[in-house]
């Protein structure tokens, strides 16, 4: 940040988001919000994949100023969320590929910020459970547990998984055991080969034969259809592969991250927030996804530290974050608990259209934290 004007907008954005998070914590407490369709965040079960984003947001804000008395309760609330989440680790039906989303932002964040050995223990247990989902023949991490008439979920992997791999990289660093990293790299290589197209677009869901591991077909998932370009999935890819490069130094992951980032930015153009699927037909371009913009912005700022084209990615990431603040933020409004507006959860199923989403809020604040010189929690 080079000018006083830039510093002013950035500090304003961070302070607004931090103050609202502190205010929201008085009502949300140690529950698990997902969307805020009428201005107020709902409550979900701790088994739901988004359960880590609220404690993650609390750790971001608390970690910025732990001496701030107003932020002190955030520490206790986040730890209470973590204790509830531990119960899910005891039920094999309650854990899936999203263990990284949950535990990097709760137990691992707690361990990194406070030295909590309970946080480390829970994070290592989660990493072991994530590693146990690795399909040896197909070399991918299985996604869901539920059955579906549309696909055999015993052989399904999804693009979101790239953001969960840092839990495995972290576990290798903590334990000195390279197997966690080997599994993460094998999965990343499969995703790069089977999910990322030549033009940098991605597919959300790939179905593999659960017995042989061979690729069977692509599914549209939360995108419009097979062959489309789900905006949030593109953001998961660019951010996730940037993180894999950061942990491993393997150049192939940097190249994949750059390809996904270039596609995202080309399709975004001069806009701040993308339509939910870059290839949605005109009649379906009625929902936008600010969460995709926030995820991509934080990923671009990560990529900026790693790529020879870092200045280009840094400028793009800052432009998006500033645009979110100036045009999509709820600001100081007491009527809105969400930090940024117009996110979309699942357009094909008609769920959560043009609403604040907790992971949009998290990645918005993570991107702001990065612009202020701090690291994110992934």
Q: Tell me whether residue 118 is one of the annotated catalytic residues.
A: no
Q: Centre a 10 Å sphere on the Cβ of residue 250 and count the other Cβ atoms it contains.
A: 15
Which residues neighbour 116 within 8 Å (Cβ) at sequence distance 6 or greater? 79, 107, 110
Determine whether 98 is an active site residue.
Answer: yes
Contact 62, 54 (CB under 8 A): no
What lies within 8 Å, CB to CB, of 356 at 6+ separation is 35, 36, 41, 330, 336, 337, 338, 339, 340, 341, 343
**Residue 41 near residue 357, CB atoms below 8 Å:** no
Distance CA(239)–CA(257), nearest Å, equals: 7
Nearest alpha carbon to residue 107 among 84, 91, 129, 130: 84
CA distance 260 to 280: 18
Query: Is the CB of residue 201 less than 8 Å from the CB of residue 195?
Result: no
Q: Which residue among 30, 98, 289, 361 is the active-site one?
A: 98
Closest CA to 189 of 249, 144, 250, 231: 250
315 contact partners, CB below 8 Å, separation of at least 6:
none
- 3-state DSSP call for residue 35? strand
Q: How far apart are the first and last CA of the chain?
A: 23
Identify each DSSP E strand in 12-143 by its residue range.
134-135, 140-141
Cβ atoms of residues 105 and 53 within 8 Å = yes
Taking the C-alpha atoms of residue 333 and residue 362, their distance in angstroms, rounded to an integer, is: 18
| Contact predicate 307/265, CB 8 Å | no
Residue of 30, 96, 160, 289 with catalytic role: 160
β pairing state of 205-208 and 140-141: unpaired
Catalytic machinery residues: 98, 160
């Amino acid at each position: 940040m080079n000018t006083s004007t830039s510093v002013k907008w950035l500090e304003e954005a961070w302070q607004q988001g931090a103050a609202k998070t502190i205010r929201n914590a008085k009502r949300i407490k140690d529950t698990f919000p997902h969307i805020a369709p009428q201005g107020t965040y709902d409550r979900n079960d701790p088994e739901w994949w988004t359960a880590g984003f609220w404690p993650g947001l609390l750790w971001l804000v608390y970690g910025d100023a732990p001496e701030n008395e107003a932020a002190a309760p955030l520490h206790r609330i986040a730890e209470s969320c973590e204790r509830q989440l531990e119960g899910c680790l005891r039920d094999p039906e309650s854990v899936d590929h999203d263990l990284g989303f949950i535990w990097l932002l709760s137990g691992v964040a707690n361990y990194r910020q406070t030295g909590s050995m309970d946080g480390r223990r829970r994070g290592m247990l989660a990493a072991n459970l994530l590693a146990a989902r690795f399909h040896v023949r197909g070399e991918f991490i299985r996604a869901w547990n539920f059955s579906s008439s549309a696909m055999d979920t015993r052989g399904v992997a999804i693009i979101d998984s790239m953001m969960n791999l840092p839990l495995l990289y972290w576990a290798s660093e903590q334990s000195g055991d390279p197997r966690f990293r080997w599994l993460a790299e094998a999965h990343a290589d499969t995703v790069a080969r089977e999910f990322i197209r030549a033009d940098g677009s991605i597919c959300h869901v790939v179905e593999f034969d659960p017995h042989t591991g061979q690729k069977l077909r692509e599914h549209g998932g939360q995108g419009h259809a097979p062959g489309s370009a789900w905006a949030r999935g593109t953001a998961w890819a660019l951010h996730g592969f940037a993180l894999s490069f950061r942990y491993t130094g393997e150049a192939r992951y940097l190249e994949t991250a750059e390809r996904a980032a270039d596609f995202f930015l080309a399709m975004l153009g001069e806009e701040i927030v993308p339509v939910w699927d870059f290839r949605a037909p005109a009649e379906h371009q009625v929902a936008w996804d600010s969460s995709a913009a926030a995820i991509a912005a934080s990923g671009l700022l990560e990529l900026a530290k790693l790529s020879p084209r870092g200045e280009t990615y840094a400028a793009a990431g800052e432009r998006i974050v500033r645009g979110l603040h100036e045009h999509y933020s709820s600001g100081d409004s007491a009527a809105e608990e969400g930090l940024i507006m117009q996110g979309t959860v699942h357009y094909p199923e008609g769920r959560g259209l043009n609403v604040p989403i907790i992971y949009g809020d998290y990645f918005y604040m993570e991107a702001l934290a990065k612009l202020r010189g701090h690291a994110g929690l992934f």
